Structure 1
């Protein structure tokens, strides 16, 4: 995988297309909410009727559309989704992926890209309007397209990976960090339990080991941000990133084979953890870990570093004590080795750098990219830690 594969690959499908896709899952439903996240789309679906698939007998569920970049990596996404199912079966995660009528976690939906709008539209029997942008494009089932203001070209049909998940109520952990120290301890404890539960799994191990060697968001591939460092204008910031890269290459990669390994989530941030709260916003003992799309088979400490990074990104006066609570919870289940403790600092700075530069690249190559983290706060945090 290359960074350029993410250029202008943001997911976009219409609500009417989503309702057509639901037929593959044997249900009829309507879209009640849409979230445009980073490069993906998430729809909340209210079930109207279950036509065939009994496993879909529920009030509502979540449908996720991945960036077109992931289409040719469908096997990896299927394997990552399978890991989420394992955490559910082990009682460690309250959200589960759901299968379509063919028993598969993923559905490939044919779509067409419109060059001028940089959007994707599904060919269908009825004319569908694409409305979020000023120009109103209409795409017909024959693949022809008309725009009242200018000519444009539709490219050859492509596919998006679509999956559905059970719906889970909850607040992102990032929203309740100030109120609940116990939630962070719980986060660390659960992450360690997930690492241990997946430790002896062998299915798709080779596939996910290989993914760690090629997937650009794997921390193993962090030095490849050099390929896109030109998108960072400030020379002092570029030099700071170069220092982080060299630190990672010098202190982590040479001893990588000595670090405990297993299946890791890859993006276990406070934004990807949902916790239930009562009517007074008090945290209730629950745990939902979302979004396994970045999962690989690699060093367990990478997950720990990613979680620590997300805690440090929050604007908290006591963020280091919050990190300590998370680590304390983690080590109640699995003790970090001395080598893992020695490299944790370098993994944290590497993760911050990877996200900052990757996000900057996405923003520079897309007209409507939403920042993953606040850039100014991220650079400030990296500078403070490096000092």
Structure 2
């Protein structure tokens, strides 16, 4: 079954019933939140408290062990001082409930979790000062370091070898390159894939392996104003793309989205986000050498896979194309500047 036919379509009354039955909470307010291929709802309870009800699509709901690890990781990071959501137990003491519902494609099963609500504004909507960039980079690196200490009986499920969005799977984009027919960037994407295969792959053995969040983007990071009206990082959301990868992959993915939020993208990230990351996890030579190409590769993934998703889910095309536009802008900018010029800025403190 395609994910298109697996996306849940629960109504607000059904959500209210779920929350009442599973968590003994009476809803006073419900509204939907953006989601890629699941359903998320903001829920306020009469009894007090704000929550996010997350309903997984029926395809991903079958991978119980993977979601169990992701749910545990959130709790583990919270225990280690990071601002992350945690799942609330149901009345039977479970952190997830498998619910059966007909959402238009016959009866299917959907995993449901009630997560704590984190206050704040996505950093896509706030002024991304050098200080906030630095703090965000530092927090991303801290998160990955903490995850390396995590133990769980199903850690092996994070070895997601067929995960389309993994930066290890960039050559897969060749299967979708036809979606860019007529797009002037098609040639650039083909060139990046070629360079990835010839340059990045042979250096991968020198990359440091780890567990990564996998989608540390500007819609998944929250910030709040502090006492001096500067913004401070207040939350990390959405561990659905978590997998076994490399530190450098996490950095490259995050940098794409941080770059997209700044009027002087290359300079800003070189001076702040990357510095914050390296204050915790300095890059080795191979990682440093491949960072530029990995950032370009993520832009290509966004460009190609967002186009693919928009054709599969035209009803959700606007959401997918948010990422598409960002990928286009950054790919243009970085490609025009070239590797040498970009690295000169990113690593200027090494000079």
Establish whether residue 314 from structure 1 lines up as the match of residue 264 from structure 2.
no
> Which of 11, 16, 19 is 2:13 aligned to?
16
Residue in structure 1 matched with residue 55 of structure 2 by the alignment:
65
2:185 maps to which residue?
Answer: 237
Match of 1:300 in 2: 247
- Tell me: CA distance 1:40–1:221, structure 2 relative to 1, closer, same or farther (3 Å): same
Give, in whole Å, the separation in 2 of the partners of 1:374 and 1:13: 25
Point out the structure with max Rg over C-alpha.
Answer: 1
Correspondence for 1:324? 271
Match for residue 124 of structure 2 among 174, 185, 201: 174
1:78 equivalenced with 2:26 (yes/no): no
- The Cα shift of 1:250 comes to 2.0
Q: Structure 1 residues 376 and 188 mapped into 2: Cα distance closer, same or farther (>3 Å)? A: closer
1:8–1:243: structure 2 CA closer, same or farther, 3 Å change rule?
A: farther
Alignment match, 1:159: 109
Instruction: Give distance in 1, aligned partners of 2:241 and 2:87.
Output: 15
Q: Structure 1 residue 235: deviation in Å?
A: 5.5
Corresponding residue for residue 150 of structure 1:
none
Q: For 1:69 and 1:231, how far apart are their aligned partners in 2?
A: 25
Give the TM-score normalised by structure 2: 0.87
Shift of 1:26: 3.1
Contact 1:19 1:30 in 2 (8 A): no
Matched residue, 2:44: 46
Cα 1:214–1:383 change in 2 (3 A) is same
CA distance in 2, matches of 1:374, 1:267: 12
Per-residue Cα deviation, 1:94-126 (whole angstroms, up to 9, x for no partner) = 432223234333222212242xxxxxxxxxxxx
CA positional deviation for 1:330:
1.2
Distance 1:258 1:102 in 2: 46
Q: How does 1:106-125 map to 2 (within 5 A)?
A: 106-114=96-104
Q: Could you tell me which residue of structure 2 aligns to residue 135 of structure 1? A: none
| Alpha-carbon distance in structure 2 between the residues aligned to 1:156 and 1:337 | 51
- For 1:1-387, list aligned pairs within 5 A: 5-22=2-19, 23-49=21-47, 58-114=48-104, 155-178=105-128, 180-203=129-152, 204-209=154-159, 211=160, 213-234=161-182, 236-278=184-226, 281-284=229-232, 286-369=233-316, 370-372=318-320, 373=322, 375-387=324-336
Distance 2:266 2:210 in 1: 28
| Aligned residue in 2 for 1:133 | none
Distance in 2, matches of 1:103 and 1:168, equals: 22
Distance change (3 Å), C-alpha of 1:307 and 1:280: same
Q: Evaluate the alpha carbon distance shift between residue 280 and residue 33 of structure 1 in structure 2; reply closer, same or farther with a 3 A threshold.
A: farther
Q: What are the superposed Cα offsets for residues 133-174 of structure 1, whole Å, 9 maximum, x if unpaired?
A: xxxxxxxxxxxxxxxxxxxxxx43112222221111111122
Aligned to 2:349: none
Cα displacement string for residues 230-261 of structure 1 (whole angstroms, at most 9, x for unaligned residues): 22232543332222222222222233232111
Cα gap change, 1:157 to 1:318, in 2 (>3 Å): closer
Alignment gaps of 5+ in structure 1: 50-57, 115-154
2:26 partner SS: strand
Change beyond 3 A, Cα 1:280–1:324: closer
Deviates further, 364-373 or 163-172:
364-373
Distance 1:296 1:223, change over 3 A: same
SS in 1 for 2:234: strand
Ranges of 4+ aligned residues in structure 1 off by more than 6 Å:
none
**Secondary structure of 1:42's match?**
strand
What's 1:142 paired with? none
The number of equivalent residue pairs is 332
Report the Cα distance in structure 2 between the residues aligned to 1:97 and 1:337, rounded to whole angstroms: 36
Matches of 1:99 and 1:233, distance apart in 2: 49
SS class of match (1:80): helix
Q: Taking structure 1 as reference, are residues 235 and 182 closer, same or farther at Cα in structure 2, changes over 3 Å only?
A: closer
Q: TM-score, normalised by structure 1?
A: 0.79
Quickly say closer, same or farther: Cα 1:267–1:19, change in 2 above 3 A. same
